[in-house]
Amino acid sequence: MDIALFSFLTFLGSMAAGFLGALTGLGGGVVIVPLLALVFGVDIRYAIGASLVSVIATSCGAAAAYVKEGFSNIRLGMFLEMATTFGALLGAALAGMISTQIIAVIFGIVLLYSAFLSARGHHPTATEDAPDFLANSLHLDGSYPSLRGVVPYHVHAIPTGFSLMFLAGTLSGLLGIGSGAVKVLAMDQAMHVPFKVSTTTSNFMIGVTAAASAGVYLNRGYIDPGLAMPVMLGVVLGSFFGSKLLVSSRTMLLRIIFAAIILILGFEMIYNGITGKL
């Protein structure tokens, strides 16, 4: 394939990935790695390297808009980043020792279960409206804008969420993704953070998580500037449009989109893991 055509097609695919990543909080990596490896025949290691760069770009492209709109919980994101960063470093270090096929199958199963939880939604009870002692002590509660005005919320289950974020970071380092699915589900289901806040805070976090493991891949020579450049540009443009659409989107619609995407990706991860393509 001609290099110009290859760059243009990867740009278009990356733009779609960035759009979905910004809209759902997943990050574009879960789409870009299969796209580059399976469709364009790029070596999986270089696909992961380009994916990590694109994940950083997704976060930079969407996070600023979300912070400006008042959706992202910056204090919560920075607190949880301690877990994801250490997890990402561990995952990148283990990438050369653990079979990615096994991890892909496990992660695919996690995604399928996550799709079920996301589609079911979370319905808070009266007891969940009370402040959590640990979250209150760390000043992690927040609020977000809506058509009805500013809506306050309380954060819960800090130890559980922190543990899941460490897992998300480890998966990011192993598979070259932002692990937005795990982050969103951890905040939405375990910590009872509103879905829009979960997706926007996830976008705020995934860049730092990816940057931690990208340094390891860069040191190993798996980040090719010629491949990473069109991927990064496409993701930035797609994430810009995705962030604009999220502000006016309905939460239930976002849940359905989120569940459908990670359901497809879950089956794809399992298949590629079993067949040894990932």
Report residue 126's pLDDT band, with 50, 70 and 90 as the boundaries.
very low
CB environment 212-233: b (16+ within 10 A), e (fewer): bbbebbeeeebbbeebbebbbb
Residue written as tokens 């990706």? 265
- Pick from 197, 97, 180, 190: which is nearest to 144 by CA? 197
Instruction: Give yes or no for residue 227 having a pLDDT over 50.
Output: yes
- 24-76 pLDDT, tens digit per residue, is 666 666 678 777 877 888 887 788 888 888 877 767 666 666 777 788 898 99
Helix axes 3-24, 195-219, angle to 10 degrees: 140
Helix axes 74-94, 158-175, angle to 10 degrees: 40
- 146-159 pLDDT, tens digit per residue, is 878 888 999 999 99
3-state secondary structure of 157: coil
- 197-207 pLDDT, tens digit per residue, is 888 888 788 77
Mean pLDDT of the chain: 80
Across the range 173-197, mean pLDDT stands at: 79
- Pick from 179, 170, 165: which is nearest to 97 by CA? 170
- Residue-range domain boundaries for the chain: 3-275
Report residue 251's pLDDT band, with 50, 70 and 90 as the boundaries.
low
Give the span between the Cα atoms of 139 and 142, in whole angstroms: 8
